[in-house]
Amino acid sequence: MKKWMEQIPEAEQRILAKAGFKGDLTLGAHAALIVVDVTMGFCGSKGLTLDEAIKEFNTACGPMSWETMPRIAQLIGLFRAQNMPVIYTNGDLNSTPYTGRATKSKSGGGPRPGYNDFPAEIAPREGEWVLPKTKASGFFQTPMTSYLARQHVDTVVVCGVSTSGCVRATSVDAHSNGYTTFVVDDCCFDRSYFAHCANLFDLNAKYASVLSLDEIAALMKAPALAAQ
């Protein structure tokens, strides 16, 4: 059993399985990776405690960010190696004053310098799309679906932060827009471990297949993708 599954009551796992949820999906022929909001504003500087990171950026997740970072880098590398699209999202800081924040939170005021910067470990390369967004989902009133259609994408793989917020919203909207959706559990993080576990459980039951980095890497070796 996966570590995050240990936080879910066994009775609830059985009920959802009995009801027909939790079915596994098949990776399609044309996949794209969405790296959700892995910016300094959601990480905080390396080496800080969570309390210290929140003082730097009130949205930061602290040590969990940097524990997850190497796996996110590996996942990005898998997609780059097969020339599959990698899309990064971050906050549209110019539009947010007019559209409102992505959550109801009123703390923190305006973002500090460096908030939207990507850590060097996972930074976009030239030619990889950075998509600014004003709300939690990378699909909400953005050109995401137009880009995916141009790339003939049928499968979306999601990683990033926070599991309970922008990762969840992006994954639900990917499913709602007709994409086979995968969430890579050990390539996502959240400032709340409880919320991380509960949302992975719910996503796996209803909207996506939740797999580990090793599991998604094994799927990407399938003939349909290898020939892409």
Q: Which band of pLDDT confidence, cut at 50, 70 and 90, is reported for residue 228? A: very low
Q: Mean pLDDT in the chain?
A: 89
pLDDT in tens, 172-191: 999 999 999 999 999 999 99
Least confident of 97-101, 137-141, 165-169: 97-101
Three-state SS string across the chain, please? CCHHHHHCCHHHHHHHHHCCCCCCCCCCCCEEEEEECCCHHHHCCCCCCHHHHHHHCCCCCCHHHHHHHHHHHHHHHHHHHCCCCEEEEEECCCCHHHHCCCCCCCCCCCCCCCCCCCCHHHCCCCCCEEEEECCCCCCCCCCHHHHHHHCCCCEEEEEEECHHHHHHHHHHHHHHCCCEEEEEEEEEECCCHHHHHHHHHHHHHHCCEEECHHHHHHHCCCHHHHCC
Q: Fold for domain 27-106+125-223?
A: Rossmann fold (3.40.50)
Residue 32's nearest CA partner among 68, 80, 71 is 80
Q: Choose between 181 and 28: higher pLDDT.
A: 181
Domain edges within the chain? 27-106+125-223
pLDDT in tens, 72-116: 999 999 999 999 999 999 998 887 776 777 776 665 545 678 999
